[in-house]
Amino acid sequence: MQINRLRLVNFRQHECTELELGPGLTGIVGPNGVGKTTLLEAIAWVMYGMPAARGGRDSIRRRGAPPRSRVEVEMDFSLGRHHYRVVRGLHSAELY
């Protein structure tokens, strides 16, 4: 599986983050607390609906976001010659 794009909206510390990933190996580096582990948690959540490893479902919404603001993770990926997009919000999940 090749992850091509990952977009997070109000997910943990990410207000609106979009990553475009190319083929090959991708490394994620940065100082503590900037959201590296959160990217991995977002992938697990969008694919499997697993709550965050550090806290439950209530900890997913970005601190400081309005209470009814949208929380969403969108991921485009390729598997063989097939291309997919999966979108998960707090109350829904879609596969395209």
DSSP state of 61: B
Domain boundary assignment for the chain: 2-95
Query: Residue 77: enclosing H or E segment and its boundaries?
Result: strand 72-79
Confidence of residue 20 (pLDDT cuts 50, 70, 90): very high
pLDDT of residue 41: 93
Q: How far apart are CA 5 and CA 51, in angstroms?
A: 21
Question: What integer pLDDT is reported at residue 19 of this predicted model?
Answer: 96
Angle, alpha carbons 43-85-73 (nearest 5°): 40
86 pLDDT higher than 80:
yes
CATH of 2-95, one of 2.60.40.10, 3.40.50.150, 1.20.1370.20, 3.40.50.300: 3.40.50.300
- Which residues have a Cβ under 8 Å from the Cβ of 93 and sit 6 or more positions away? 46, 49, 86, 87
**54-79: average pLDDT:** 87
